[in-house]
Structure 1
Amino acid sequence: MATIDRQATALALAHALSAAERGLAVIPLSRTKLPALRSPHRDDPDPTAAACHGECGRFGHGVYDATTDPRRIRELFSAAPWTTGYGIACGLYPHHLIGIDIDTTSGTGSSAALRELALRHLFAIPETVVVLTPSGGRHLWLSGPPDVVVPNSASRLAPGVDVRGAGGYLVGPGSRTEHGVYGTAPGTAHLAPAPCPSTLLRLLAPPPRLRPATPSPAGRHGRGLVQFVLAAHEGQRNTRLFWAACRAYENGFGPDLAPALIDAAVRTGLTEREARSTIASAARTTGQRP
């Protein structure tokens, strides 16, 4: 059973309500930085229930529970009294938040890599909200246009630089986790997320990918596997992706379906790196080359 720290929960709720006043949709998080409420469909034998994004009216749908409604936020926190933090959903109106997550402890030189990227492509990161992580990393908050969907990614933009976009969330300042407390950098708490530079926005867009016709061996079965992955919730994503990839490789169209499976997995919240690793593991398990 999760340990309840009532003071940490009260502080997290206060910070979450403050963020909601600024138009940022929030969800409660546990000390592990994961959504505090588990899926209500985790033991549901009906496979169609996994596609629910909150239509059932219950809590536990991860980022799909995110809201700016104070009453709803209080209900979410009441349902999870072990909450010690909150997540801010990315990609939603009015800010269409994009998070640039710079890991300064990985040894990748991520800060330098981002500066080099900016110099090479002639853009500058504007003055904006900066959240400091307990490990020494930084989250830069940027605002995107409503008609552009920025996907989540890991180290695609630059080594050690992850992106949180549509379907993802950022740990909000004031959250307490197993490793410490998140807080805003001095002089940035009062700022609104700055507009993302257009050049950077183009770099954040999904990489171009040729979409060949679905191979005849896959057909409806291949599309069904992709839908199976898309229906995954928190705690199911890797398992569903691994199962679907194994079936694809066993039926001879794993390499052809892999791009669509990766797309689907990223849309559910996995990073591209995690998705590729899971599919490679499925290929090895079925005796194929990744």
Structure 2
Amino acid sequence: MMSVTNAFKKALALAELGLPVFPCAASKRPTCPHGFQDASRDVGAVRALWRAHPGPLVGVPTGKATGIFVVDVDTAKHDTAADWLKRHTQDLPETRSHRTQSGGLHLLFKHRSGMRNTQAKLALGVDTRGDGGYVLWWPAVIDHGHHNAPLAELPAWLAEALMPPPPETRPTVQRPRTPEAAKAKIEGIVGTVAAAREGQRNSLAYWGACRLAELVKQTVITQGDAVALAVEAARQAGLPTKEAHRTVASAFRGQQ
């Protein structure tokens, strides 16, 4: 772990480059009272921060404050994160990346308006940091494993996966009038999810589970059957089993 003195020196250098910084403890928590909101690119203010609230790590706000959006891929702790990165490597543009202390990876992109923090929305172990968040600036601590390319635009498919259409914009499923109509409705929902293209899988899996949950409320289908169909459709679309279960469970909770 870096000493407080070395962290302070690195923080000053980053501030001089125009990056707002603030001190963090070894626990990764901010040491200053207002967290990332205390971040500053003013050298004098940075000196005062470290003097009053010393910390061995350097934090940097994400989102509008810096124009940085970060995808945190914790490959060291989660196989699902490693699988996600392997599946999407060819779809990710060259951009700046930082190796983390635990062996994970931060992928840095240009921030896009409206992008906030998420946890495990893309996959278990894949979090994001945008407006209202911060990351530790690992190049201040670790000298290797970093790629200093310019920040790339956030890929459209990734933004879409993180910002699905609001649930209220989706039409409510009308109760089918006959068993045949019910069967056709269910098959239509399941088929739409199963045929989802990359970049649509999470949002359509959530949508389909919501629609099936509505049919459960209408006693058209049992919840057990609806969950099983929703998970299987998400798996056919290409989502890992755990991710499919998590997305479907989230949708059903939202319909309660």
Residue in 2 that maps onto 1:12:
7
- Secondary structure of the structure 2 residue equivalent to 1:109: helix
List alignment gaps of at least 5 residues for structure 2: 170-245
Q: Distance in 1 between matches of 2:94 and 2:88?
A: 17
Tell me, yes or no, if structure 1 residue 86 matches structure 2 residue 58.
yes
Q: Distance in 2 between matches of 1:167 and 1:103?
A: 20
Counterpart of 1:210 (choices 122, 143, 168) is: 168
* Displaced runs of 4 or more, over 6 A: none
1:87 CA drift (Å): 0.7
Q: Distance in 1 between matches of 2:42 and 2:164?
A: 31
* TM-aligned CA distance change 1:149 to 1:184, over 3 Å: farther
Counterpart of 2:78 (choices 107, 112, 116) is: 107
* TM-aligned CA distance change 1:67 to 1:192, over 3 Å: farther
Alignment of 1:40-79 (within 5 A): 60-79=33-52
Contact 1:31–1:84 under 8 Å retained in 2: yes
Q: Distance in 2 between matches of 1:91 and 1:206?
A: 19
- Secondary structure of the structure 1 residue equivalent to 2:63: coil
Tell me, yes or no, if structure 1 residue 154 matches structure 2 residue 154.
no
Residue in 1 that maps onto 2:94:
127
- Secondary structure of the structure 2 residue equivalent to 1:210: helix
**Cα deviations across residues 187-218 of structure 1 (Å, max 9, x unaligned)?**
x24x332222233222233662328xxxxxxx
Residue in 1 that maps onto 2:199:
none
Tell me, yes or no, if structure 1 residue 140 matches structure 2 residue 107.
yes
Q: Distance in 1 between matches of 2:159 and 2:20?
A: 22
Contact 1:132–1:183 under 8 Å retained in 2: no
1:183 CA drift (Å): 4.6
* Amino-acid identity (%): 32
Matched residues, number:
175
Higher relative contact order (CA 8 A, sep 6+): 1
Residue in 1 that maps onto 2:69:
98
Q: Distance in 1 between matches of 2:150 and 2:118?
A: 23
AA partner of residue 37 (structure 2): Y
- Secondary structure of the structure 1 residue equivalent to 2:82: helix
Q: Distance in 2 between matches of 1:70 and 1:28?
A: 13
- Secondary structure of the structure 1 residue equivalent to 2:3: helix
**Cα deviations across residues 256-288 of structure 1 (Å, max 9, x unaligned)?**
xxxxxxxxxxxxxxxxx9xx99xx9xxxxxxxx
AA partner of residue 19 (structure 2): L
Q: What TM-score do you get using the length of structure 2 for normalisation?
A: 0.59
Alignment of 1:195-274 (within 5 A): 195-205=153-163, 208-210=166-168
Q: Distance in 2 between matches of 1:133 and 1:161?
A: 13
1:139 CA drift (Å): 0.7
Q: What TM-score do you get using the length of structure 1 for normalisation?
A: 0.53
1:78 CA drift (Å): 0.7
* TM-aligned CA distance change 1:208 to 1:115, over 3 Å: farther
**Cα deviations across residues 102-124 of structure 1 (Å, max 9, x unaligned)?**
111233331321342566xxxx3
Q: Distance in 1 between matches of 2:151 and 2:17?
A: 10
* TM-aligned CA distance change 1:73 to 1:117, over 3 Å: same
Contact 1:25–1:89 under 8 Å retained in 2: yes
